[in-house]
Chains A and B, each alone.
Chain A
Amino acid sequence: MGDLMPYIMLAATLFLIVAMAMMLTRLIGGPTLYDRLLAVNSFGTKTVLFLCVFCFIIDRPDGIDIALLYALMNFIATIAVLKFFNYRALTVDLGHLPGADDENLS
């Protein structure tokens, strides 16, 4: 069964590519901004998984570092885009905004 394992990993990458392509339809045709953000976030998670499995197929585990970086960057990008579309600026101090209800954000 050890010889079979690269083919199983290859099938897993194909499944992940299909899932990413399906998520792209929601990303393009999502009615609201938040649908698109959700699609981008889920697409990023699938990209991390795809990178990890692909590094196992080509037997070079260095790419897992890139997957780790991508996971962190994906989260920060989601939060940054949310903040930008909420306040129309990225330099807003969230703690001292007059309209920000701090107790509800926690």
Chain B
Amino acid sequence: MIAAVLTIVMAAEAVVRETVNAGVDVGAILAFLRDVVTIISLAGGLFFVLAGTVGVIRLPDFYTRLHAAGMTDTLGAELILFALMLQSDNWQVIAKLLLVAFFLFVTSPTATHAVAHAAYKAGERPKLGRWRAPSLEDDT
């Protein structure tokens, strides 16, 4: 097992040394990979944000709108902030973006939960088909 891992590591090292000796610019390849990952992450985050917005506009009911907005906003924000973190070359900027991502990750689901709980306590009823909404008297 250890011998296999050592063999793989030595082979990878040999490949890297060979490419560097052959005149290939490894830094350019890494920068290209960073840009590709940035674009993929940014596009994914924008897709999630737009999907949540369309869901908030199109869905028929308050709770379904909450469901559309609550999750996609969190994931989309994290993906976009991750893309920005990859693009920044200053560690202070990366630390600030990490703080923004952490606070959004904590506060966005909490706010969603608070809004849902307040609406439920205020008597907002979901639109259901065959199923009935659980009554307030059952859980209090």
Residues of A within 8 A of B (CB): 1-2, 4-5, 8, 12, 15-16, 18-19, 22-23, 25-26, 32, 34-35, 37-39, 41-42, 45-46, 48-49, 52-53, 56, 61, 64-65, 67-68, 71-72, 74-75, 78-79, 82, 85-86, 101, 104-105
| Given contacts A1-B35, A8-B42, A22-B57, A71 and B87 within 8 Å (CB-CB) | no
| Given contacts A49-B81, A104-B139, A71 and B107 within 8 Å (CB-CB) | yes
B50 in contact with A19 (CB, 8 Å): yes
B73 in contact with A34 (CB, 8 Å): no
* Cα–Cα, bound, A86→B35 (Å): 48
Looking at chain B's contact residues, is the secondary structure mostly helix, strand, loop, or mixed? helix
Question: Which residue of the partner chain A has the closest CB to B119?
Answer: A34
> From residue A46, how far is it (CB to closest CB) to chain B in Å?
7
* Cα–Cα, bound, A101→B31 (Å): 55
Looking at chain A's contact residues, is the secondary structure mostly helix, strand, loop, or mixed? helix
Residues of B within 8 A of A (CB): 31-32, 35-36, 38-39, 42, 45-46, 49-50, 52-54, 56-57, 62, 65-66, 69, 73, 76-77, 80-81, 84, 87-88, 90, 92-93, 96-97, 99-100, 103-104, 107-108, 110-112, 114-115, 117-119, 121-122, 124, 139-140
A105 in contact with B90 (CB, 8 Å): no
| Given contacts A5-B38, A49-B77, A78 and B114 within 8 Å (CB-CB) | yes
B31 in contact with A2 (CB, 8 Å): yes
Query: What residues of chain B lie closer than 8 Å to A25, measured between beta carbons?
Result: 57
B110 in contact with A52 (CB, 8 Å): no
Query: What residues of chain A lie closer than 8 Å to B99, measured between beta carbons?
Result: 68
Query: What residues of chain A lie closer than 8 Å to B104, measured between beta carbons?
Result: 45, 48, 71
When A and B form their complex, which 3 residue pairs have the shortest distance between CB atoms, in order from nearest?
A75-B107, A34-B119, A61-B93
> From residue A45, how far is it (CB to closest CB) to chain B in Å?
5
B54 in contact with A22 (CB, 8 Å): yes
Query: What residues of chain B lie closer than 8 Å to A35, measured between beta carbons?
Result: 62, 65
B49 in contact with A46 (CB, 8 Å): yes
B93 in contact with A22 (CB, 8 Å): no
Question: Which residue of the partner chain B has the closest CB to A72?
Answer: B103
Q: A52-B81, A75-B107 are in contact. List 17 more A-B contacts (CB 8 A).
A: A2-B35, A16-B49, A23-B56, A32-B124, A34-B119, A38-B69, A41-B69, A41-B111, A45-B77, A45-B104, A45-B108, A49-B76, A53-B84, A61-B90, A71-B103, A75-B108, A86-B122
